[in-house]
Structures are given as C-alpha cells and as structure tokens.
Amino acid sequence: MAKEREKEDVGERIKTGIYGLDELIGGGFLRGRTILVSGACGTGKSILSLQFIYRGALEYKEPGVYVTFDEIPEKVREDMLAFGWNFKALEEKNLVAIFDASSARAGTPSDEEHALMPGELNFDKILVDVLTLCRDMGAKRLVIDSIPAIGSHLGEKEGDIRKAILKLAYIIARSGLTTIITSEVPEQGSGQAATYSKYGVEEYIADGVILLRLFSLGDETSRTLYIRKMRGTNHRMEIYPLEIGDRGIVVKKANTVLRFGSGK
C-alpha cells in the first residue's frame, strides 16, 4: 500500500482537457512532462493537441502556446470553431498564442504576431523564439505540431534530426512546461510491428506515449487510443474507442476492449 501511494505522489498532475483520458492516467499528465502523441493521418493528433491547449487555458487557467509547422494559424482557428473553440478570444486575453512556423516553410512572410520569418528555419532560432514567447506570457502548456514537419522543413539528415529532437526534449524538460509533441507514423495493419514515431527516438525521450489509430472491423472504421507508456503513472493498457464530436475528442469506455497485440 505504501508503494502504491508513493507511485501516486510522484508529482503534481494537471487535467489534460481530453474527455475520458484523465481517469486512464491517474488523474492527468504530470506537470512538466513531455508527451508524444503519434498516429497516421486523420487519427486526431492535432485536435487532441489543440484541445489540450484550449481547455487548459479556458477552464484551468493555464496559458498555452501552440506551434504549428503544418497549417497556417488562420486555418487552425477556423477549423476549431467547429467545436465552439474560439482561439482568437483567448489570444486577445493572452491566454493562448499560436506560433506560425508554417509560413516560413513556404518562404512567405507571416501576418501573425508570433512567427518565424522566411530564412529563419533554424532549429536553435525556433527553440529560442518559442521558449521566449512561453516565458513572456507565463505559459504552462506547449504543443509542437509536428516533429516530422520540423525535420522536413529543416531539410537535415536523419541523424542530425535525431540530435535536434534530443536537444528539444532536454531544453523543454528544463523549462517546466507540460508539452505535447506530435509525430506521424504510417497506418499499421494487423500483424505489423508497431511503430510510435517518425525517427525512432521520440518515444524514448518522451515521458509518455499515446498512439492514435484507425481501426477497421468489417465495413466499419473507428478511431482508437492506446497509452503505450506514461512514466510515474499506473496507466491503463487497453485500447479505447475515440470519438471526435462537437465537443472535440472523447475517449470512450468500452464493454469489450482490445488488447494491443500487434508486433508480438
């Protein structure tokens, strides 16, 4: 019993803002930890990340920064209005900031207040600008979406990208920010070995790994969530149905859950 209490008291937990997730991970993410969210295209990685930022700011009074390498911020704001998430209103209150790294990739200047300029796609420059922004606004939460986009935009060798990821993880860990990083992996069929990241290093440097998948059964396809690891947490190991509805992402309870068996 004493050992169980010790496991529970490893640090302060924060609410994720993802409906149904906290009860699977001991009440929330450990503050200051880095969580990898991986999945194929269309599994809900960006929505989960934005929900973490939005509800964190709106309901838990934790300012957050969302760094986008894939989508222009204006499109992000428009898409999230489908869930009733008014990012612009929170930005005006300095509770949320969207950092535009996507325009620099296209070689065009950005109209955003927080952005990289063309020619500034330098990893150290990105780190300095993002962490300065987090410090200035008192951010508690950070999302970097996505790691593969950083690699493709920087155009570096895979070995150099791995070194950059390690550096990113080290600096973020020292910052005290609770961070989600996203990585895209190919859709994995039955019997295939499971992969959790683009470069094969993200899952090892992250404190937690959440895998989102598209699961097909007959003519039906659904989304699922699997918690591969969560350091300092007695987390659930089943696969759970995940739905994207008018409130955003909801992790559902299942009468019958699937054991994660691929790759064995």
| Angle at which helices 45-60 and 73-80 cross, to 10° | 70
- pLDDT for 256: 47
Retrieve residue 46's tokens. 């960006």
Domain presence at residue 16: no
pTM for the predicted model, two decimal places: 0.90
**How many other CB atoms sit within 10 Å of the CB of residue 186?**
10
User: For the domain that residue 122 is a member of, what is the CATH number?
Assistant: 3.40.50.300
Say what the pLDDT of residue 255 is: 58
Concatenated DSSP letters of 187-251: ---TTSPP---SSS-HHHHSSEEEEEEEEEETTEEEEEEEEEEETT-----EEEEEEEETTEEEE
The residue with greater pLDDT, 155 or 126, is 126
Pick from 124-128, 166-170, 194-198, 247-251: least confident: 194-198
Alpha carbon distance 61, 140 (integer Å)? 9
pLDDT at 3 over 60: no
In a domain, 157, yes or no: yes
Average pLDDT over residues 22-41: 96
CA 91 to chain centre: 19
Average pLDDT, the chain: 88
What kind and span of H or E run contains 141?
strand 141-145
The predicted model gives 80-104 an average pLDDT of 96
Asked if residue 89 is part of any domain, the answer here is yes
Percent of the chain with pLDDT over 70: 88
Count of domains for the chain: 1
CA–CA gap between residue 144 and residue 171 (Å, rounded)? 13
Q: Is 103 within the bounds of a domain?
A: yes
Q: What are phi and psi of 178, to 5 degrees?
A: -85, 120
Residue 261 in this model has a pLDDT that exceeds 60:
no
pLDDT at 159 over 60: yes
Does 249 map to a domain? no
Lowest mean pLDDT among 7-11, 214-218, 258-262: 258-262
- Is 174 within the bounds of a domain? yes
Any domain includes 156: yes
* 64 belongs to a structural domain: yes
pLDDT surpasses 80 at 115: yes
Instruction: Give the residue-averaged pLDDT of 15-32.
Output: 97
Question: Alpha helix locations (H) across the chain?
Answer: 2-8, 45-60, 73-80, 87-92, 102-106, 123-137, 147-154, 158-175, 202-205
| CA pair distance 114, 97, nearest whole angstrom | 8
Task: Estimate to the nearest angstrom the gap between the alpha carbon of 142 and the chain centroid.
Answer: 9
Domain interval for residue 86: 32-209
The share of the chain scoring above pLDDT 90, in percent, equals 64
Partners of 183 in the β-ladder: 38
pLDDT of residue 90: 98
| Residue 179 pLDDT | 97
Per-residue model confidence (pLDDT) at position 124: 87
**What average pLDDT does the segment 148-153 reach?**
80
Q: Helices 147-154 and 158-175 meet at what angle, rounded to 10? A: 130
Query: What is the per-residue pLDDT for 207?
Result: 96
